[in-house]
Amino acid sequence: MGQLKDRMDADLRLGGYSPTTRRIYLLYARLYAKHFMRSPAEMGEEEVRAYLLHLIEERKVARETVKQAKAALAFLYGVTLRRPVEVEHLPVMRKRRRLPVVLSGTEVSMLLDAIASPKYRAIMMALYAGGLRISEACMLRPENIDSKRMLIHICCGKGGRDRYTVLSRRLHDYLRGYYRMCRPTTWLFPGRTRAGHVSPEGARLVFYKAFATTGIKKKVTPHGLRHSFATHLLECGTDVTVLKAMLGHSSLRATEVYTHVSVEHIGRITSPLDLLGTKAAEVLG
């Protein structure tokens, strides 16, 4: 894409998009150009539609992948190329609400025990202890850990929003030991990315390797630890609006999906039948 890539990257930076979003948008723009072996400037609506159908019908990628590709091309044509007409009539994919896969407390312990590296174990603990996204955990700085108020300050989360979430005492104690051992400076979890922090891709690889050794049959990604955090807190009676703030959701609707997976919480509810008198039971003797 050459100069077009540079201009799109500049537009994304001017728009305040996060490094992760910039990387994803530029990736899909590049894959789109590679698919047709032509510059996006030479193409338009028909090619965009054909590429998205290719992803859906031939590549059979996940809906979230199609959504990201569509958003990237909408930005490319709507902002960088200043041709919004090419993408304004693309149909919106109907949402399919899937329940997240949740690990039990025992399964979370098994996973954490399977991770030998103190750094990566701390990252996975943060995902479960505070409901962080993996990119948020990888980009934590030492000053984001507020030991006095027992809070984690997440800077520039999804959508560029800052927020606070709970700092688990167990995570706090573990991080103290990790800090004394590793002495991190700029980043809490240093790594080989250009910025100097550990990469989310590297953390995912550690997660999958450790998960494979646990024998757990569920299909779970690192994001499943965030799902488990939310579900387990709901089961303990945490208010859904408080949970929304800790997760950094822009809409309560996104948080309410966890009310459908809180099986233990539902199991503690008394059925209205059990609140009736004994007459109905007496009929059956």
Active site residues: 133, 158, 223, 226, 249, 258
Q: How far apart are the first and last CA of the chain?
A: 79
Per DSSP (E only), the strands in the chain are 145-146, 151-154, 163-166
Task: Look at the alpha carbons of 70, 71, 72, 74 in this order and tell me if their dihedral is positive or negative.
Answer: positive
211: closest CA among 101, 107, 118?
Answer: 107
- Name beta bridge partners: 21: none
Crossing angle of helices 63-75 and 45-53, in 10° steps, is 160
**CB atoms near residue 130 (< 10 Å):** 24
* Coil/strand/helix, residue 177: helix
Residue 132 CA: distances (Å) to CA of 11, 122, 163, 235: 28, 12, 11, 19
Per the CB < 8 A criterion, the answer to whether 66 and 52 are in contact is yes
Distances (CA, A) of 70 to 50, 62, 236: 12, 13, 39
Taking the C-alpha atoms of residue 134 and residue 136, their distance in angstroms, rounded to an integer, is 5
Query: Which residues lie closer than 8 Å to 285 by C-beta, 6 or more apart?
Result: none
